[in-house]
Structure 1
Amino acid sequence: MTRSLLVLAATTWLVAASAHAGEQAASGVDEPPSRALLDALSRVMAAPDGFEDLFDAQVWLLDMQSRLARRQPKAYPSRPRRLALLERIHTEARRAGLPPELVLALIDVESRFQPAAVSSAGALGLMQVMPFWKAEIGRQQDDLHDIDTNLRYGCTILAHYLQREQGDWTRALARYNGSLGRTIYPEQVMQAWFTRWWVDH
């Protein structure tokens, strides 16, 4: 499917007005977290930071910071603040093997880029990560309002679900949100991706 068709399809989807809280399934809600996911989370929480390709990252940062300025001018009024946030998003998305623009779209839908966001279900931070994950991997000390920590959890969880669903973004995003079997949340994220954060590579 071409990008234009994807954009057309995305703009016709039904989109709810309010942001959704990420409700990754906890034990007893959907299914227990798999050993593979818990191992992945444990491993990446100790991994080093850094861009793989600094030049490409800088080009991306300059583009995305202008988009973020239009999207959230009050929350991120200064260019250095926008660049710092975007650098973290880019790093964690690439570490997890995810398109950084897709992660931006998910954050846009989940928290509207508010690091202190808390959902009615108790999900926290930019990517609205459920606190039960800390207990599952034995890292109760982790602060899910910390941007780097939140992004690392969220990106790792989403990447695991994408692998589990064999590249099916709709099912992976629904699992991330705890809404497997429903499509409204994946459609919201995909619409944000194609209409606000898409980049031709």
Structure 2
Amino acid sequence: MNRLPRALLSRLRQGRFAALPRTAAVLALGAGLLAAPAHAGNQKEEALGDSVRVALSNAIHDARPPKPSFSNPSERLRFEQWLGEMSERLKRKLPDAQSRIEFLETAWYEARRAGLDPGLVLGLIQVESAYRKYAVSIVGARGYMQVMPFWTNVIGDSDRRKLFNMQTNLRYGCAILRMYLDMEGGNLYLALGRYNGSRGRPEYPNAVLAAWNNWKHAASAVAAR
């Protein structure tokens, strides 16, 4: 499995994602606030160090298709169980079976590649676009993960149309969320706020964390390489 470049991971990452959800959830739920309707993504353009920008660019431009591999049969079995369960849950949103399986396989691959829980990514997509491939927000964010077009200039080839490509959109979204998570020292609550352009406000992080509960599954922790 192709992971994000070491330059990005070594500069940004302070710990694997698996150690973060429980702390983040406590921070969010402990606020005692109900999740209000969330608005689609509005990431802010920020000054990035050259090494971070180059690493993100390299990650985005890895054109190899998602080909997960497994170190043993039990890992493959757990992934297949996850895929079957998530496919059943997603039927109403994505009724075409082939498209739904392709979407889930890609979401799983890109999430794990970025060191994220696939269930978190699915929850974020639920809040951001309600699984609409061609969703466009009032601020111009595009696709499943509502990626702002300026990112194609910062780390891409300036072709905004590619944000409607499934794998491209998921790769951008996962890489950007991973970067925000590392920028916030592993604080998922703040990273989600930054992803939405509402850092410090509870509505969006709480909405995503609540949606994440709809997509949790023991097999989501399956390790891939």
Q: CA deviation at 1:159?
A: 0.5
Q: Encode CA deviations 1:53-72: one digit per residue, 9 max, x unaligned.
A: 34432221111111112xxx
40, 56, 66: which one aligns with 2:88: 66
Alignment of 1:1-201 (within 5 A): 9=29, 13-17=33-37, 19-26=38-45, 31-47=46-62, 48=64, 49-53=66-70, 54-69=76-91, 73=92, 75-141=93-159, 143-194=162-213, 196-200=214-218, 201=221
TM-score (norm: length of structure 1): 0.84
Q: CA deviation at 1:34?
A: 4.3
Give the conservation status (yes or no) of the 8 Å contact 2:87–2:104: yes
Q: Encode CA deviations 1:77-117: one digit per residue, 9 max, x unaligned.
A: 13222111111101110111100000000000000000100
Q: Give the letter for the 2:36 counterpart.
A: A
Runs of 5+ in structure 1 lacking a partner?
none
Runs of 5+ in structure 2 lacking a partner?
1-20, 71-75
Q: CA deviation at 1:50?
A: 1.6
Q: CA deviation at 1:149?
A: 0.5
**Counterparts in 2 of 1:177 and 1:37: CA distance versus 1, 3 Å:** farther
Q: Which has the higher contact order (CA 8 A, sep 6+)?
A: 2
CA RMSD of aligned residues (A): 2.4
SS at match of 1:144: helix
**Counterparts in 2 of 1:174 and 1:34: CA distance versus 1, 3 Å:** farther
**Alignment partners' CA distance in 2, 1:56 and 1:136:** 37
Give the conservation status (yes or no) of the 8 Å contact 1:22–1:110: yes
Give the conservation status (yes or no) of the 8 Å contact 1:89–1:151: yes
**Counterparts in 2 of 1:126 and 1:138: CA distance versus 1, 3 Å:** closer
For these two proteins, the number of residue pairs brought into alignment is: 188
**Counterparts in 2 of 1:36 and 1:158: CA distance versus 1, 3 Å:** farther
**Alignment partners' CA distance in 2, 1:93 and 1:188:** 19
